[in-house]
Amino acid sequence: MRKRKGIRGLKKKVGKFSLKGGLSRISRRQGVTYLIVALGVMMILGIAFRGYLKNDDVEDVIGQYKITKNPQNKAALGISPVKTFNPLVSKDEDTYYLSKIIYSSLFTFDENMTPKEDLVESYRFSGRTVKITVKNAQWEDGRSVSADDVAFTLKAIKSIGDNGPYGSVAKKIKRISYGSGGDRTFTVHFNSGYDMSLAYLHFPILPKHKYSGVDALKRDTENFVPWSSGLYHCSTYDELKGMKLTVNDKYYGVKAKSNIDVKIVKNGGSKDNLVASGNISALVDKSPERAGNIHKRGIKIHNFRSNNVEFIGFNTKDAAVKSVEMRKAIAYCTDIESIIEENYYNSAKGSRSIYPHDYMNSPNQLEYSFSKDRANDVLKKAGYSDKNSSGSIEDKDGNKVTLKILVEKDKERRVKTAERISKALKEIGINSEIVSVKRDVFLSKLRARDYSIYIGGLSLDGAMDMSSILKSDGENNFTGYSNRKVDGLLDELMSGKTVDESRKVLDELKKNIHEDLPYYCICYPTYGIVKAPVFNGELKSNFMNPYNGAETWYSNYEKRVETHKE
C-alpha cells in the first residue's frame, strides 16, 4: 500500500524548528494550522500592498499623504566619454548628436529625414549653385551670424577632410562666395550639378571671430567649450562630468522649454538605474536587444529608423530570377513581420520601398504584402507549375527552378533571414541553396554575379542617395539592373530641387523601382531613445539627430504632499 506523503512529509519539515532557547515540537494538527495562518497572513499583506500600489493616498501615524505631479523645466542626457566636443574634429557619436541642439546649421531634418530650413531664411537653386540668405541670428556675445562664419566653417571642414565627421561634405561643395563681410547672403557652389542636395548643408556653423584661423580651430580640441548660435548655449563644462546647456534666449526659432544637463556615464556605470531614478532623462541606445535589457518599471523606449537598410538583391541576369514575376513571387512569400520579430527582436521597421516609405512624406504607398496565395497566383500566370506533382515547380519550358541565396557568413541576422526565405520558397515549390561565405568571397561572388538572390544592406547619409545600387553604372550595383528612366530620375533627384520638387521626383522613382523590383526591402533596423519615467515632451528623432524635439522636453517628478485629517 502506498504511503501518504503529504502531511507526514510536512511533519518532517515543520515538526521541528530551531530557536535560540532550544528545540520545540508541535503536533501535526498544529503544524497544519500554523501553515494555514501563515498563508492567510501573506495573502492579506499581498492584497494590502497591492491596494497601496494602486492608491495615491497613503495614511500612516503622521497623517495622510497624496502623490502629485511636480513638473520642472529641466532634463538630463546620458552620454559616453568623448575625446573632444569640437564638432568639426570629433568622430564621437555623442559629440555629433549634441552638436545638433547646440549649433545652428543651414538645413536640418524632420523625423522622416525631409530637409528643412534651420538658419536659412530663403534659398534659390541656379545651375550648380544655391543662393542663400540666413536669418538674423546672434552668437553668444551678440555678434551677428554672417556669410563669413559659414565660409570659415566650410574652409575648416575641407581642411580637416576625412579626419572629421563631415569629410563627405568637403567633396560635394567647391566653395562659398559672397560680397562684403557681415553679409547674410551668399552662394554655395557645388562640384557637380547632379550631386547638390540640401542635405549636404547640415554641418554646424562655428564663429570665425573666435579663432585666428582654420588651424587654430583644428587645434582646439582639449577642453573645447562650444560657442554657438543654436537652440542651447553651453554654460559650464567639466571634461569628466559633462556640461550644462542653458536655453538660448536669443534663438531665432522656437525657444527651448528646459535647460539640459549632459552627464558623462563612464563604462560600467549603471545607465539602467540612472534612467529609472530620473537622474538621466534620456539616452541613445543602439543595441538590438535594448528592450530586453530594461529591468526597471516605468522606463520606455522610443524607436526610430537608423541609416541602414537591409534588403534582398535580385540578380536580374540570372535565368532563375530574370523574370520580374519570379521576383514578385519571392517578395510576396517573404514574411517581413516575422523576420523583424524573430531575427531583429522587433528593433527594426519595415518599408514599402527600399526608400523609407515616409521619406519626404512621399504619397506612394505601393507594396508587396505577405501572401503565399498571391505568390502562387503570380507564378501560375507566368507559366510556372508543378507538372509532375513533385512538390517543385518548373518553368514553361519544363526546367526546374533552383535559386542560389548568397549571404555573408558573419552577418548572423542576415543568415537567419536567408534561412527563413529558403523555407518560404520551399512552401511555394521553389528549391534553393544557401551559400554562406566570408566577406571577401561574398564580395567576389557578388561582382561575378554568382548568385540568384543575395541578402545585403546599405548605409545611407542624410541625402538618402541610392544611386550606388540603383544606377546602371552604380559602384555597388551587383544586380545588373539597368533602367535609363530610373537613371534620369536619380540624377534629377540630386540636381538641386526644393523639397516639394524632390517629393514629386521621388514618388515617380519609387513607382518604377516597385514595378521592376531589383531589390526588395527587408527592413530598416532601428535605434532607440531610452526614456526615464519622469521624461516628458516630444521625440522626433532621426538618425542624424536623435534629440530632435529637445525644445519641448521637461521632467515630471512625483511629489508627496501631506494633507492632515480634520
HEC profile of 208-225: HHHCCCHHHHHHCCCCCC
Distance CA(243)–CA(263), nearest Å, equals 7
- Cell match 512625483: residue? 558
Distance CA(292)–CA(276), nearest Å, equals 15
Kindly state the cell numbers that stand for 287.
543595441
Backbone φ, ψ for residue 401 (5° rounding): -100, 120
Q: What is the pLDDT of residue 407?
A: 99
Q: pLDDT tens-digit profile of 247-267?
A: 999 999 999 999 999 999 987
Q: Please, which pLDDT band fits residue 352 given cuts at 50, 70 and 90?
A: confident
Per the prediction, the chain carries an average pLDDT of 89
- On the 0-12 / 13-18 / 19+ scale of CB atoms within 10 A, 26 is middle
pLDDT at 268 over 70: no
Residues of the chain with pLDDT > 90, as a percent, come to 76
Q: Please, which pLDDT band fits residue 366 given cuts at 50, 70 and 90?
A: confident
CA angle 121, 93, 352 (to 5 degrees): 70
Domain 72-299+532-558: homologous superfamily in CATH = Periplasmic binding protein-like II (3.40.190.10)
Which CA distances in Å does 236 have to 225, 243, 246, 425, 500?
A: 8, 5, 9, 60, 41
Among the residue ranges 51-60, 426-435, 557-566, the one predicted with the least confidence is 51-60
pLDDT at 346 over 50: yes
Q: 308-526 sits in which CATH class?
A: alpha beta
Distance CA(467)–CA(449), nearest Å, equals 19
pLDDT at 10 over 90: no
Q: What is the pLDDT of residue 38?
A: 61
Which CA distances in Å does 442 have to 406, 454, 474, 519?
A: 7, 9, 18, 18
**Is-contact 76 546, C-beta < 8 A?**
no
Q: What is the pLDDT of residue 227?
A: 94
Kindly state the cell numbers that stand for 258.
528646459
Q: What is the pLDDT of residue 203?
A: 98
Q: What is the pLDDT of residue 3?
A: 42
CB-based contacts of 95: which residues, under 8 Å, 6+ apart?
82, 84, 85, 86, 87
More confident residue, 381 or 61: 381
Report helix, strand and coil shares of the chain as percent, to nearest 5: 30, 25, 40
Distance CA(102)–CA(86), nearest Å, equals 12
Among the residue ranges 158-167, 259-268, 470-479, 485-494, the one predicted with the least confidence is 259-268
**Mean pLDDT, range 126-134, rounded to an integer:** 96
**Is-contact 419 407, C-beta < 8 A?**
no
Would you tell me how many other CB atoms lie within 10 Å of the CB of residue 191? 12
> Of 411, 306, 412, 309, nearest to 352 (Cα)?
309
**Is-contact 397 359, C-beta < 8 A?**
no
Domain definitions of the chain by residue range: 72-299+532-558, 308-526
Q: What is the pLDDT of residue 9?
A: 44
Distance CA(38)–CA(45), nearest Å, equals 11
| Common-topology check for domains 72-299+532-558 and 308-526 | no
Amino acid at 509: L
Q: What is the pLDDT of residue 561?
A: 67
Distance CA(186)–CA(180), nearest Å, equals 10
Distance CA(529)–CA(478), nearest Å, equals 35
Which CA distances in Å does 8 have to 14, 34, 41, 175, 285?
A: 10, 15, 24, 92, 55
Q: pLDDT tens-digit profile of 206-226?
A: 999 999 999 999 999 999 999
**Mean pLDDT, range 397-401, rounded to an integer:** 90
**Mean pLDDT, range 74-101, rounded to an integer:** 96
**Mean pLDDT, range 239-249, rounded to an integer:** 95
**Mean pLDDT, range 139-155, rounded to an integer:** 96
Among the residue ranges 48-62, 295-309, 511-525, the one predicted with the least confidence is 48-62
CB-based contacts of 364: which residues, under 8 Å, 6+ apart?
352, 353, 357, 506, 507, 510, 511, 514
More confident residue, 204 or 4: 204
pTM: 0.84
Distance CA(502)–CA(496), nearest Å, equals 9
Among the residue ranges 193-207, 281-295, 449-463, the one predicted with the least confidence is 281-295
- Cell match 524607436: residue? 303
**Mean pLDDT, range 528-553, rounded to an integer:** 97
Q: What is the pLDDT of residue 276?
A: 85
3-class secondary-structure state, position 199: helix
Q: Is 502 left (phi over 0), alpha (psi -120 to 50) or beta?
A: alpha
> Of 485, 503, 483, 484, nearest to 493 (Cα)?
503
**Is-contact 176 201, C-beta < 8 A?**
no
Q: What is the pLDDT of residue 266?
A: 84
**Mean pLDDT, range 63-89, rounded to an integer:** 86
